[in-house]
Structure 1
Amino acid sequence: MNFKRSPYISTKGVGRVIVALGGFVLYFLAQACGNYIFFKYMDPASALFGAHLLACVVMGSLYLILRRNDQTSNRFRGENFSFRALAVGVAGVVILYVLSYGFVSLIGQPAEPFMADFMVAIRGGQALESVSLLVLITVLAPFGEELAFRHFLMNVFPFNNAVWKSVAIVVTALVFTAIHLQYSYVTTLVSLFVLALMLAYARVFTGGLLVPMVMHACASILAVGLYPVFYS
């Protein structure tokens, strides 16, 4: 990949790092502000949706501002985007989740308490609440988290050689896993780490965000869709 033509923030080390870390931190600040505002006036599902929506608007706006001078129209999908790469990425996510659910079922591991509560909220809530939660995990979370992790956090690293690309993939995967500590079992965290490695690799391979976002959305759909199959 030609780094000077790649869809990253800057080729200048210090400026890139400052903007990248600032964008990454801003994602969580926007969520925190949203939580503070919306949880005062809304039910938990609507407040959670509102907080993530606010974070996505902030991150999307920042992304567009930083990309405003680009002359290339395919920065978002990536210069190396292909439908084959998209298909391979989605297939990899499907295999990962089928194997993960199959393994925990084989060893008799109970359902994740967080997932159990989440499924109860989807099934037991009103239609609007259920739809809000589904949109949150299939649209808002993939959009916001991919911008935060696979765009801004990855921009901390220079990407001028294979070593730095590998470091970026592993470090972002570790941080991504670390913020999902609402999960209780090591097996779930391992699966999340593998997923994060796949998302980061897709980001580097294609040079864009479209493939990792679709893969992330697919992972969320599978997490919810496969749950009733293994935990009735």
Structure 2
Amino acid sequence: GTLAGWTAAYAVAGLVLGATAEGAADLVEENPKVADVVREMGGPQSLTDAFLAAMLGLLGMVAGAYAVQAVLRLHGEETGGRADPVLACAVGRLRWAAGHLVFAAFGTVVLMLVGGAAMGAGHGVVAGDITGRAVSTAGSALVQLPAVWLVGGIALMLFGLWPRISAVGWGLLTAFVVIGLYGPVLHLDQWAMDLSPFTHLPKVPGEEVTAVPLAALTALGTVLGAAGLTGLRRRDLG
């Protein structure tokens, strides 16, 4: 299904990005300005690690699109009239929503694990350590999940409280992606960069992982999602 297609795409993308990391770093090193941008996106470590971190960030932002898509299937079922027959069969609203949300959360974990492992394996072919790099980079990829889940939490909040503007979730994700990709190039002020949840993630591999931003993003995503579910229970459907 949809997750299988996304997973295959992540495996291919991760493998290609990992295999080209060393060459890309060597190429970037020849242009100091581009190297500075890569380091700002991926951290002040070696250019290879900075490139890998930046590409993991890109995979994380794309996984945010999967999360929004999966959550807003609820809105599609509601507006398409497909939710009514299900809810008429003694299935509560929260149980109906939970099936989609579990798929959204589980799907993003799968995507980041597969993408990270493939990226590490691709890099490991060049570095001579396929298994070790695959495992370590898969772990680094999971650092993206709190921001991805926050994006999903925003989409759920919009659907539950203000379903007519659910599409704003796509707009916000687009803004986060633009900030992440073009913020370093445009030298945006830090307050503008901080508007994106992905800005607050540790830039791994290379930087030390700290629990505080990860816990804060996860907690905020949970609160927003809970607000959306509360709204879903109380509002009229259809």
Rg larger in structure: 2
Do both proteins adopt the same fold according to a TM-score greater than 0.5, normalized to the shorter chain? no
Q: Which has the higher contact order (CA 8 A, sep 6+)?
A: 1
**What is the TM-score when the length of structure 2 is the normalising length?**
0.32
**What is the TM-score when the length of structure 1 is the normalising length?**
0.33
User: Going by fraction, where is helix more abundant, 1 or 2?
Assistant: 2
